[in-house]
């Protein structure tokens, strides 16, 4: 796996998406105290040892190129992660992958997940374009209305009902977003045409990005602590 991908981090408006690290363990344990997380996710994090194991899985995923998880930090708040977005790419080169996400209970209801998913989507289609990535799937259980709203707000169109599959007791929804697709159902800011230029080097003015509907995502591959500071993104916790 290239260093660029192993260390990929980028910003979208006030959000910084960067690799998880050991300093995040308390935030992880706290986020998973919420019963909704235990209900909706397969991971179980009850203590620091679980969090360590979870971190190891994310690190190994990056090493193998099969999973790219990003801690979502709201730089308007503090350095603590308020969410997670992940690209699950179990068969690199297959043309499709899956996105997953959660937002800590304390940060829900502010459009954070859709904004982070939008950013992840732009990054994924850019980073794996040469690899042939053309489709991203987003799956959720039918009764997870909040997740369904995230899908719609991030431009993932409903595709089909999935039959129940253990450990999930209910049917699911599959939503899909294709590469080079605009963001259906989401207005472009000020009626401007959709701009999907994902620039690896330039961080644009975040004030131009509406919180819920950023159609341009500023992608910065932060290869090192120094690069990160020079890009004006604040202190990188790695
Ligand atoms: C689904 C989830 C990621 C949404 O994250 P978010 O950052 O709150 O996203 P949004 O602010 O866009 O809210 C999405 C929907 O959540 C609901 N919501 C709003 N405020 C909420 C709150 N304080 N608490 C819970 N849900 C809320 C609303 O239905 C909202 O849709 P709307 O904007 O059309 O009203 C979050 O609820 C979560 O982490 N849930 C547990 C894990 C999970 O279900 N992950 C997805 C697995 S498929």
Nearest CA to ligand 1 atom 3: 102
pLDDT band at 180 (very low <50, low <70, confident <90, very high): confident
pTM: 0.81
Distances (CA, A) of 192 to 137, 183, 216: 27, 13, 11
Nearest CA to ligand 1 atom 14: 146
Residue with tokens 């179990």: 90
Reading the block at residue 62, the tokens are 């990056």
How many residues belong to the chain? 238
Q: Is the CB of 112 under 6 A from ligand 1?
A: yes
Distance (Å, whole) CA 160 – CA 203:
37
CA of 150 to the centre of ligand 1 (A): 7
Summarised one tens digit per residue, pLDDT across range 135-155 is 999 999 999 999 999 999 999
Q: Is the CB of 150 under 6 A from ligand 1?
A: yes
Q: What's the confidence (pLDDT) of residue 4?
A: 83
**Domain spans, the chain:** 3-230
Summarised one tens digit per residue, pLDDT across range 69-98 is 999 999 999 899 999 999 999 999 999 999
Class of domain 3-230: alpha beta
Distances (CA, A) of 214 to 14, 126, 182, 205: 11, 16, 11, 12
Distance (Å, whole) CA 84 – CA 201:
23
Reading the block at residue 21, the tokens are 């690290």
- Mean pLDDT of the 159-185 span: 87
Q: Is the CB of 108 under 6 A from ligand 1?
A: yes
Q: What's the confidence (pLDDT) of residue 130?
A: 95
Q: Taking all residues of the chain, what is their mean pLDDT, rounded to a whole number?
A: 80
Q: Is the CB of 149 under 6 A from ligand 1?
A: yes
Closest by alpha carbon to 141, among 167, 109, 115? Answer: 167
Q: What's the confidence (pLDDT) of residue 21?
A: 97
Q: Is the CB of 101 under 6 A from ligand 1?
A: yes
pLDDT for 227 beyond 50: no
Nearest CA to ligand 1 atom 37: 146
pLDDT band at 221 (very low <50, low <70, confident <90, very high): very low
Work out which ligand 1 atom sits closest to the CA atom of 113.
7
Give the pairing type, strands 10-12 and 15-18: antiparallel
Which of 108, 118, 136 is the best mutation target for the ligand 1 pocket, counting ligand atoms within 8 Å of the beta carbon and taking the most? 108
Higher pLDDT, 224 or 105: 105
pLDDT band at 181 (very low <50, low <70, confident <90, very high): confident
Residue with tokens 């909040």: 146
């Amino acid at each position: 796996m290239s260093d660029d991908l192993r260390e990929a981090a980028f910003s979208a408006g006030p959000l910084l998406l960067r690799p998880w690290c050991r300093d995040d363990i308390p935030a992880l344990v706290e986020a998973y105290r919420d019963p909704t997380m235990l209900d909706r996710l397969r991971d179980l994090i009850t203590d620091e040892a679980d969090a360590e194991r979870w971190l190891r899985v994310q690190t190994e995923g990056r090493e193998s190129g099969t999973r790219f998880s990003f801690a979502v930090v709201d730089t308007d708040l503090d350095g603590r992660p308020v969410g997670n977005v992940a690209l699950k790419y179990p068969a690199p080169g297959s043309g499709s992958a899956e996105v997953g996400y959660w937002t800590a209970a304390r940060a829900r209801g502010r459009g954070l997940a859709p904004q982070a998913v939008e950013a992840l989507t732009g990054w994924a289609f850019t980073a794996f374009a040469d690899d042939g990535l053309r489709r991203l799937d987003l799956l959720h259980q039918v009764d997870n209305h909040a997740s369904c709203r995230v899908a719609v707000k991030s431009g993932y169109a409903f595709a089909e009902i999935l039959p129940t599959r253990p450990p999930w007791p209910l049917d699911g929804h599959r939503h899909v977003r294709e590469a080079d697709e605009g963001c259906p159902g989401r207005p472009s800011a000020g009626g401007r045409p959709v701009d999907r230029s994902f620039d690896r080097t330039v961080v644009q003015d975040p004030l131009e990005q509406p919180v819920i509907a950023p159609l341009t995502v500023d992608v910065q591959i932060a290869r090192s602590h120094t690069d990160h500071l020079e890009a004006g993104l604040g202190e990188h916790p790695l």
